[in-house]
Amino acid sequence: MPTPSPLLLCSPQPARRTALQIGPQVFASLLVLTVATLPSFAQTDRDSYLSTDPLAEAEVQPVRPTRGPDYSERNPQMMYRPMAEDPLSFYVRTQDGEWQIPTQVSADDPWVRVLVLTPKRPTIADVAIDINHKPFRAAREQWIDKLLAEAKATSLVRAGEAAADAAGIQVDESAVDPEEQAPQPAAESSQGSAEGTSDESDTSEDTDGADEESASEAKLDEDDVPMVKAQRRQASSLFKRLINYLAADQTTAEREEVRWLLAEWTGGPALMTLSPAFAWRRSDAAPLWHALDLDGDQTLSSDEISKTSDTLKQADINRDEILSLDELERLSEQHASQQRTKGYPLVVVIDDQTDWRALRGHLRTAYPPQDSADQGESELPLLDRIASGDRSVSTADLANLLSLNPDLVYRVAFAKKDAKVKLLATGSDSGGDSWGFQFATDAAITVARRETYMELTAAQGEIDEENESGDMQQTQISIGAVADGYPLFRLLDHDNNRQLTLREWRNLESFLTGLDLNEDGQVESTEIPTAIRLAITHGPQSHVHLANAIAAQRDHGEASKAEAPDWFVGMDRNRDGDLSRREFQGSPRQFAKYDRDGDGLISRLEVEQSASKN
């Protein structure tokens, strides 16, 4: 029976508060009913999922660096935003420093299988990726077709010229050079046009200065100085150089060679993966946890939980009933030195070229042996053996990951219009833990399993549907994942403003009590929900999209959408969306009239409901 994710317990929506009140065990049975209704995988061809109705969907977000303050900005050890270095350094290469180039590519195949090294147990996800309504691999393969065709044409022209020279036949050099028909990247094309304009403008200059050049040459002849006359050489485009390179070889170029050339000369292969160093940079950032864990034993005792309100009041240095992340970080500065980077990747693309030996090493690091594990128990599902730290799992066993049913199936469509992320199915190859759909917002789809939840997102820059310029970033996809850190804070910070309001921190004690799934009266750090953000971007942009920590992506219901009257806005001095008794300027009787739920705070929704009732 799957154990429910505690992620639901932090939602402010009334229905989910009720789930907290009825207790974890009853809540578990309710969630099991929800998960049981999701599609099973029963060896179904994954292409069939493309025609099914999605379980949830979200918008593909624009790629843009986060501006203004963010969770990572104030702590230098946690800040990780792209600097002026090569952005390709953020992506995985082989041990030899080369890009991983596929030997066989099916242009009609949109699917990518990834293994996410999530806590407690790895996760298999199958993702169908489209660019402009076509499988993403087709975009680059079409350009390879163009390059090979242009190279062949150029080679034939050169062969004809060589044969003509051998026969003593003069070739008309004014004939159209096939190289001029080659596509040019946007930057170089514009550069070429600028140079062309320069050439035209220089014509008059060359004519006017002809006498000077003749005089200069005459002077050089008189002095008999051996000099080389400078000649203007128009820069050849990248694609011209590729075509020249391919045409120079007498043998027909292989597609794999062209893929390698495009990867090395244009900035990476068609599919790229974010590096492990990026994935773990802020994974241990937990200022709210450290502030509450008074004795530093990685466990919140019942006494510490009961003192949460007093602890946060002490952290509120300016006494504005708003607890900022800056104030929390000051309270837990002594824990900053404990942050570290793990050495294994968080997400790995698995296919026929996967280095199974290296993957086995990563899995052994991520999942150490458990005392209760039955080492060598081959009857257990493969993912369970990996999760238990079974050292008898061989590289041949790991190759079976290609044939297992996935835990998640979703689709990402990059396009100028209607770019979407769609969750198609959830499931598991074992009868144990299964991922279940939790929330969907415009920006992300959230799925959860036990104390781990994963936010599925996608982002894109400007889409060039024709791509006549030959921009190879238009044919690229990058996949990245980060452990986002700030496990408690990101769940409570509903509006992603790096602050906890009085309402948010008042709910903290009951929220922590709900996280105690084993009901032992205390909350261990391993029981805190862990956030994994899995992103797919058009072009090598995962490092930009995932550069900054964000709040948990959830829909906070009608309370966040209610309009506030002017008198409410004027009294709300700290701009937290609530009026406390200290802020409210009316009588206690008037306060009680608006405070419909009696929690000591007047919300915008309560004001709206009171107005409609009157």
Least confident segment among 34-38, 127-131, 196-200, 404-408: 34-38
d(CA 478, CA 272): 5
Alpha-carbon distance 346 to 366, whole Å? 9
pLDDT the model gives residue 388: 92
**Cα–Cα–Cα angle for 510, 514, 517, nearest 5°?**
155
577 vs 526: which has the higher pLDDT: 526
The contacts of residue 26 (CB under 8 Å, 6+ apart) are none
Alpha helices in 96-178 (DSSP H): 136-167
Task: Considering only the C-alpha atoms of the chain, give the largest distance between any 2 of them, rounded to a whole number of Å.
Answer: 109
pLDDT at 555 over 60: no
The type of residue at 331 is L
Mean pLDDT of 174-185: 46
Q: What is the mean pLDDT of residues 1-6?
A: 45
Residue 436 vs residue 451, higher pLDDT: 436
Q: Please say if the pLDDT value at position 499 is more than 90.
A: no
DSSP code string of 529-590: -EEEEEEEEESS-HHHHTSS---------GGGT----HHHHHH-TT-SSEEETTT--S-HHH
Write down the pLDDT at residue 85: 65
Higher-confidence residue: 147 or 504?
147
3-state secondary structure at position 88: helix
Instruction: Identify the sign of the CA torsion 556, 118, 56, 3.
Output: negative
Name the pTM for this structure.
0.73
∠ Cα 435 521 326 (to 5°): 75
pLDDT digits (tens, 9 = 90+) for 272-316: 999 998 898 888 888 888 888 888 888 999 998 888 888 888 888
In the predicted model, what is the mean pLDDT of residues 398-410? 94
Structure confidence at residue 204 as a pLDDT band (50, 70, 90): very low
Q: What is the mean pLDDT of the chain?
A: 75
Give the pLDDT mean for 565-582: 69
Q: Is the pLDDT of residue 86 over 90?
A: no
Beta carbons within 8 Å of 256's beta carbon, 6+ residues apart: 101, 102, 103
pLDDT 10s digits, 143-174: 999 888 888 888 777 777 677 667 666 545 44
**pLDDT bucket at 565, cuts 50 / 70 / 90:** confident
On the question of pLDDT at 38 being above 90, the answer is: no
Q: What percent of the chain has pLDDT over 70?
A: 68
| Rounded Cα–Cα distance for residues 49 and 44 (Å) | 9
Alpha-carbon distance 378 to 385, whole Å? 8
Which pLDDT score, from 0 to 100, does residue 199 have? 44
Measured distance CA(376)–CA(362) in Å, rounded: 19
**By mean pLDDT, which of 267-276, 568-577, 593-602 is the weakest?**
568-577
**DSSP letters for 225-258:** ---------PPPPHHHHHHHHHHHSSSPPPHHHH
Rounded CA separation 538/476 (Å): 6
Q: Which two tokens stand for residue 49?
A: 């999922």
3-state secondary structure 295-348: CCCCEECHHHHHCHHHHHHHHCCCCCCEEEHHHHHHHCHHHHHHCCCCCCCCEE
227-285 pLDDT, tens digit each: 444 444 444 577 788 888 887 776 677 888 899 989 988 889 999 999 998 898 888 88
Ramachandran area for residue 72 (φ above 0: left; ψ -120 to 50: alpha; else beta): alpha
Q: For residues 27 and 465, which has the higher predicted lDDT (pLDDT)?
A: 465
67: pLDDT strictly greater than 60: no
Strand bridging mode 322-324 / 499-501: antiparallel
**Which of the four pLDDT bands, split at 50, 70 and 90, describes residue 359?**
very high
pLDDT for residue 525:
85
pLDDT of amino acid 530: 85
- Which pLDDT score is estimated for 378? 63
- Kindly state the percentage of the chain with pLDDT values over 90: 29
